[in-house]
Structure 1
Amino acid sequence: MFDALKHGNFALDNRVAMAPMTRSRTDQPGDVPNAMMATYYQQRASAGLIISEGAPVSSVGRGYSMTPGIYTEAQIKGWKLTTDAVHQKGGKIFIQLWHVGRRSHSSIAGEAPVSASAIKEPDQVFGPLPEGGFGMIETEMPRAMTEDDIQSTINDFVQAAKNSIEAGFDGVEIHGAHGYLIDQFMRIQSNHRTDQYGGSQENRMRFMLEVVKALVDAIGGDKVAIRLSPFVTEGYQEADPEIVELTLKAIEALAPLNLAYLHFSENISNYQEVPDSFRKAVRNVYPNPIMVAGKYTKDSGQAILAKGYADLVAFGQPFITNPDFFYRIQHDIDLTPVDYEAHSTFYGGDEKGYIDYPFAEQLLQA
Structure 2
Amino acid sequence: MDPIGVGVIGGSTSGWASLAHLPAIAAAPAFELRAISTTRRSSAEAASAKYGVPGYAGHQDLIAHPGVDLVVVSVKVTEHRELISAALAAGKMVYSEWPLGAGSAEAEDLAAQAERAGVRTVIGLQGRYAPEVRYARELIRDGYVGDVLGTTVVGSGMVWSGEVPTHGQAYWFDKANGASPLTSPTLHALDPLHFVLGEFDAVAANLVVGRKQARVAEDGTIVPVTVADQVSVIGTLTGGAAASVFYRGGTSRGENFRWEINGTEGDLVITSAWGNMQVAGLTLTGGRGGETSAAPLAVPASYTGDVPAELAGTPAANVARLYAALAGDLAGNTRTVPDFAHALERHRLIDAVERASATGISQDRRTEAAA
**TM tier, smaller:** under 0.3
Structure number with larger C-alpha Rg: 2
The alignment's TM-score, normalised by the length of structure 1, stands at 0.26
Structure of greater relative contact order (alpha carbons < 8 Å, 6+ residues apart): 2
